[in-house]
Structure 1
């Protein structure tokens, strides 16, 4: 799959799929605005987190009947997603988290 984001090409054939994570996205439609005036509504999507050889991160999720959406994210956001949803992978990449 290929995505062009901010003038950069993200080709998943040349990237490593790091983990399955979840992310909340805002849903702003005429229906949600009418049903929930003044409220922010959204939903959580299952996502795939990918990393390029150059260290760039890509988050892919599916919505709208199979349409795939790609979002370039910063390493800090990738770390937070890994800490929450794939702690073992986080620790392999960044070292062990301290005990509470």
Structure 2
């Protein structure tokens, strides 16, 4: 799928699928939907809803927070292991 956001082309076929376990609020009526999180080679992040009709570009800090909430394993793969409590 190709999405153009802020004059940047996001092609999910060329991006790395980081997690398909995340949830995200796509507008008020599409809240807490299942979504997929992608990362481009240039370290830009994209969330796409389950049926590919919505996509939102997010920054790395938001991606980290989403992964910490929904997919700790993917977070540790991308950013390193978390410290044990």
TM-score (structure 1 length as normaliser): 0.75
How many aligned residue pairs are there?
A: 84
Q: Deviations over 1:21-40 (max 9, x none)?
A: 00134426xxxxxxxxxxxx
For 2:13, what is the secondary structure of its paired residue?
helix
Aligned-partner Cα distance in 2 for 1:89–1:67: 21
Shift of the 67–94 alpha-carbon distance from structure 1 to 2, 3 Å rule, reads closer
Aligned-partner Cα distance in 2 for 1:82–1:23: 11
Q: Deviations over 1:21-65 (max 9, x none)?
A: 00134426xxxxxxxxxxxxx621111000101100000014xxx
1:94 is aligned to 2:79: yes
Higher helix share: 1
Runs of at least 4 residues off by over 3 Å: none
Aligned-partner Cα distance in 2 for 1:10–1:58: 8
Structure 1 runs not aligned, ≥5 long: 29-41
**Cross-structure match for 1:23:** 24
For 2:46, what is the secondary structure of its paired residue?
strand
Q: Pick one of 59, 62, 70 that aligns with 2:47.
A: 59
